[in-house]
Amino acid sequence: MDDMDQSLVHDVGDNPNEYFRFLHSRTLNTLNTNYLLPVDHDEVKRSEYHHRLVQFLFSGRNWVGPVKEALQFGQHRRVLDLGTGSGLWAIDTADEFTRAEVIAIDLAPIQPEHVPPNCTFELCDLDEAPIPYPDSFFDFIHARSLHIGIRNYPRLLREVARLLRPGGLVLLIEPTLHPCPAPAGKPPMHGWITLWDTYRKCLRRQNIDVTVPERLSELLSEAGAFESVIIREGNVPVGFWPKDPHSLSIGQLQWMDYDLLLPALRPLFLCSGLPPSSVDLLIKDAQNDLYNPPYDPSTRLHIAYATKRFTAP
Ligand X SMILES: C[S@@+](CC[C@H](N)C(=O)[O-])C[C@H]1O[C@@H](n2cnc3c(N)ncnc32)[C@H](O)[C@@H]1O
Q: Kindly list the residues in this chain that would bind ligand X in the complex (CB under 6 A).
A: 29, 32, 35, 39, 47, 50-51, 83-86, 105-108, 125-127, 144-146, 149-150
The dihedral sign for the CA sequence 278, 40, 24, 151: negative
Are the C-beta atoms of 9 and 105 separated by less than 8 Å?
no
Determine how many CB atoms are found less than 10 A away from the CB of residue 244: 8
Q: How far is the CB of 295 from ligand X (least distance, A)?
A: 26
Q: How far is the CB of 54 from ligand X (least distance, A)?
A: 7
CA distance linking residue 226 with residue 310, whole number of Å: 9
CA distance linking residue 98 with residue 84, whole number of Å: 19
Q: How far is the CB of 108 from ligand X (least distance, A)?
A: 6
Q: How far is the CB of 174 from ligand X (least distance, A)?
A: 10
- Complex with ligand X: residue 86 or 118, whichever CB lies closer: 86
- Tell me how far CA of residue 52 lies from CA of 59, 119, 244, 264, in angstroms: 10, 19, 17, 20
CA distance linking residue 242 with residue 95, whole number of Å: 32
Determine how many CB atoms are found less than 10 A away from the CB of residue 23: 14
- Complex with ligand X: residue 112 or 276, whichever CB lies closer: 112
- Beta pairing partners, 305: 171, 230
Q: How far is the CB of 220 from ligand X (least distance, A)?
A: 18
CA distance linking residue 203 with residue 69, whole number of Å: 37
Label the pairing between strands 226-237 and 138-144: unpaired
CA distance linking residue 173 with residue 154, whole number of Å: 15
Q: How far is the CB of 240 from ligand X (least distance, A)?
A: 22
Label the pairing between strands 226-237 and 77-82: unpaired
Q: How far is the CB of 144 from ligand X (least distance, A)?
A: 4
Q: List the Cα angle 174/179/181 in 5-degree steps.
A: 135
The distance from CA 266 to its chain's CA centroid, rounded to whole angstroms, is 19
- Complex with ligand X: residue 33 or 278, whichever CB lies closer: 33
Amino acid (1-letter code) at residue 185? G
- Complex with ligand X: residue 139 or 159, whichever CB lies closer: 159
- Complex with ligand X: residue 77 or 142, whichever CB lies closer: 142
Minimal CB distance to ligand X: which residue? Answer: 149
Residues 6+ apart with CB under 8 A from 141: 79, 80, 81, 82, 160, 163, 164, 168, 169, 170, 171
- Complex with ligand X: residue 272 or 288, whichever CB lies closer: 272
- Complex with ligand X: residue 126 or 202, whichever CB lies closer: 126
Q: How far is the CB of 212 from ligand X (least distance, A)?
A: 13
- Complex with ligand X: residue 83 or 267, whichever CB lies closer: 83
